[in-house]
A = this chain, B = another copy of it.
Amino acid sequence: MEQLLVDMDGVLADVYAQFLHLEFMETGIKQDIESLYGKTEPEAFAHYEQNVLSKNFFRTAPVMPGSMDGLKYLNSKYKVRVVSAAMEFPDSLIEKHDWLQEFFPFISWKQIVFCGDKAAVRGDVMIDDHPKNLNFFPGRKILFTQPHNILLSNNAWERVDNWKQLLKIL
């Protein structure tokens, strides 16, 4: 059975929806998604650091559309590991764990990896929204479209725009 590494933020968790919601609560401004294309998250969101460090940012993140049923299906077909770079924000560790338990209860604790650097993780296929993670990975690389990566292209990855497209190729 092939080992599939699935990123959390930007693949399972819709962190852009969370940032947009929080910015709107703070400023009253609804940012147009197209205005965020090609910007990193700290560039895109004025209150990035304040929000990403705030209690429950990760615990209350919306689930990416299609990811619950999608990951359940992939979990029957592949040896799935959910891999998240949680170590940069240590308070997020338990929030991310509890979030996974709530929305993806079929993912056992044995399938979770929290790390500082995804180059540490072994697998056959990696799904991630960050090219920097895919670039160090020796296996099959799938880029999940998010506003920050939408302008990039590279023959080394396959790109999918949503979970429906992801399931078509896996």
Chain A residues in the interface with B (C-beta under 8 A): 81, 83, 86-88, 90-91, 93-94, 97-98, 108-117, 119-123
Minimal Cβ-Cβ distance residue in B for A113: B115
Minimal Cβ-Cβ distance residue in B for A91: B94
Minimal Cβ-Cβ distance residue in B for A123: B120
Interface of A is mostly: mixed
The answer on a CB contact under 8 Å between A109 and B88 is: yes
Across-interface contacts of A113 in B (CB, < 8 A):
113-116, 120-121
* A116 partner, pick from B88, B98, B110, B120, beta carbons under 8 A: B110
The complex places the Cα of A104 from the Cα of B122 at a distance, in Å, of: 25
Across-interface contacts of A112 in B (CB, < 8 A):
87, 115-116
